[in-house]
């Protein structure tokens, strides 16, 4: 294990796994709370078009993926807010258009091949370069910065949009901020778990944490811990066995944690029910946002 830590490729992959494990559940907490769990999937499909556009224009695929993902995220939020199309239909449009656009652009790109999309569709953490780490790190700082600075306002928005509007909060701005932050998170994670699986790392750790906690901040913190454990565990599994795909291993470990939390959560909730019946006092649920 010590020899493994001294290898540069493993060090780069480990840093990428840690950053993704922290960012994806942090943003996912707001997405799940707002009942937009499939938003990451929709943006992931749109990001595929951005990746293919990078190959077509000869520029960095990560950069074009960021731009296209942000445009797609903003578009779906505007459509959802105006109510012209329901949220699930707008997500479906992103799904189909993103995949079709990515395959089409890659097909007409000079020397393009759909096989080149595989590392972005399913992740290729072992091939992460120092340049990738710098990009991932900068995007991760931006994502965590948004969560830290606007965490309270985003919590109110995700709990009740009408209450947020009545409180004078800039609902449109905050809604767009969530969408853009989700887009950045998708791009951060696409080299680790892949665009087709990125949404799982944004949702599953949060769902796991919700089985064990009730407070918002506690849920987010525990979800980030679960995300890191799944990311690092999947990386180690793929390192010790070359036949294990890292992206799939990360998601399956996250799912295993959710199944385990289901059983543990029953005992946790039973203990809380008994304690509540004894104390007969209301529980404070927003302590974590203060």
Q: What digits encode the pLDDT tens for the residues 62-93? A: 888 889 889 888 887 777 776 655 556 666 77
Please tell me the distance from the alpha carbon of residue 276 to that of residue 220, in angstroms, as a whole number: 24
Q: Which of the listed ranges 107-116, 119-128, 258-267 does the model predict with the highest average pLDDT?
A: 258-267
pTM: 0.81
CATH number of 1-266: 1.10.3470.10
Please tell me the distance from the alpha carbon of residue 74 to that of residue 122, in angstroms, as a whole number: 25
Please tell me the distance from the alpha carbon of residue 249 to that of residue 232, in angstroms, as a whole number: 10
Q: How confident is the model at residue 51 (pLDDT cuts 50, 70, 90)?
A: confident
Angle at 252 between CA 246 and CA 257, to 5 degrees: 125
Asked if the model's pLDDT at residue 229 lies above 90, the reply is yes
Domain ranges for the chain, please list them: 1-266
Please tell me the distance from the alpha carbon of residue 144 to that of residue 234, in angstroms, as a whole number: 23
Q: What is the DSSP letter of 289?
A: G
pLDDT value, residue 76: 78
Please tell me the distance from the alpha carbon of residue 78 to that of residue 204, in angstroms, as a whole number: 26
Taking residues 185-207, report their average pLDDT. Answer: 83
For residue 247, what are the CA distances in angstroms to 38, 198, 225, 283?
A: 18, 9, 18, 39
Q: What digits encode the pLDDT tens for the residues 112-144? A: 666 677 777 777 776 777 777 887 888 888 888
Please tell me the distance from the alpha carbon of residue 229 to that of residue 18, in angstroms, as a whole number: 9
Q: How confident is the model at residue 273 (pLDDT cuts 50, 70, 90)?
A: low
């Amino acid at each position: 294990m010590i020899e493994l830590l001294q290898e540069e490729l493993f060090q780069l992959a480990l840093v990428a796994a840690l950053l993704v494990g922290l960012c994806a559940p942090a943003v996912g907490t707001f997405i799940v709370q707002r009942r937009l769990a499939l938003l990451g999937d929709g943006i992931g499909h749109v990001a595929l078009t951005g990746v293919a556009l990078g190959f077509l224009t000869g520029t960095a695929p990560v950069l074009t993926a960021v731009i296209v993902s942000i445009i797609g995220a903003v578009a779906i939020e505007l459509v959802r807010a105006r109510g012209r199309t329901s949220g699930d239909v707008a997500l479906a449009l992103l799904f189909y258009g993103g995949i079709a656009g990515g395959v089409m652009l890659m097909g007409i790109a000079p020397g393009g091949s759909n096989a080149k999309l595989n590392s972005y569709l399913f992740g290729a953490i072992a091939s992460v370069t120092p340049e990738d780490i710098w990009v991932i790190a900068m995007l991760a700082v931006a994502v965590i910065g948004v969560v830290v600075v606007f965490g309270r306002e985003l919590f109110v928005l995700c709990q009740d949009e009408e209450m947020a509007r009545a409180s004078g909060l800039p609902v449109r701005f905050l809604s767009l901020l969530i969408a853009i932050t989700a887009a950045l998170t998708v791009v951060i994670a696409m080299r680790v778990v892949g665009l087709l699986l990125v949404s799982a790392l944004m949702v599953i750790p949060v769902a796991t944490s919700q089985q064990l906690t009730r407070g918002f901040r506690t849920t987010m913190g525990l979800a980030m811990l679960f995300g890191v454990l799944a990311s690092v565990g999947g990386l180690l599994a793929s390192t010790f066995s070359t036949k294990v795909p890292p992206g799939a291993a990360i998601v399956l470990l996250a799912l295993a944690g959710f199944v385990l939390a289901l059983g543990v959560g029953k005992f946790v909730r039973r203990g809380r029910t008994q304690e509540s019946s004894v104390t007969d006092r209301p529980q404070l649920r927003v302590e974590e946002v203060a």
